Chains A and B, each alone.
Chain A
Amino acid sequence: EAQVTQNPRYLITVTGKKLTVTCSQNMNHEYMSWYRQDPGLGLRQIYYSMNVEVTDKGDVPEGYKVSRKEKRNFPLILESPSPNQTSLYFCASSPGWTSLEQYFGPGTRLTVT
């Protein structure tokens, strides 16, 4: 089944403790991105990657890092999480960087205390 998977689905952590949210797609997509969803703000893009080893900032990149060492994986790294990063995170992928088909992962609910 074609899908985007994220792990973990739920995470509660403390301020400053490094964490990684994994994202993997099995569709051989070139383009992957991360969004965060906050009440009253909709979804906002954090980072995106047009292909392996090519990443760039989205609208709200502060406090996040990403890497794209393999085509299928695009982990989101929070090196020193803060409470304002408490949010719902979505990974998405699409066949190409101009493609209109976006496939979203199931979401990761992160709480930073």
Chain B
Amino acid sequence: AQTVTQSQPEMSVQEAETVTLSCTYDTSESDYYLFWYKQPPSRQMILVIRQEAYKQQNATENRFSVNFQKAAKSFSLKISDSQLGDAAMYFCAYNEAGANSKLTFGKGITLSVRP
């Protein structure tokens, strides 16, 4: 079974600085997708960024980018120019390509942003 590990329960960043959230996963599949979801205090699940395993290029969405290391099974999220609105819980998630749309989530990390 696939597993997703987020080993840091909490992180803090100064506003306007850069922070990196770590995620590792374990799978025997070669084709899969990885995601970062943001959950603000409203509890809504918001997709931040997605990476296809077959793509070597790291995904980028505005201030959010990933460092995808397939061989190491590592998928970290970098938030640049952190803003107060970035404060939330962040979940790393895995989906096996071509299978059930089920997402396997990590435990999450709580990010706080200091003004």
Contacts and interface: CB of A to CB of B under 8 A. Distances in A.
A binds B: yes
A102 B101 contact: yes
Interface string B54-69: 0000000000000000
B115 interface: no
Contact of B106 (A42, A48, A97): A42
Interface of A: 31, 33, 35, 40-45, 48, 50, 58, 88, 90, 92, 94, 96-100, 102, 104, 106-107, 109
Interface residues of B, number: 24
B105 interface: yes
B44 A104 contact: yes
Interface string B71-96: 00000000000000000000101010
Interface of B: 4, 6, 9, 33, 42-45, 47, 50, 91, 93, 95, 97-103, 105-108
Judged by DSSP, the binding face of A is strand
B43 A106 contact: yes
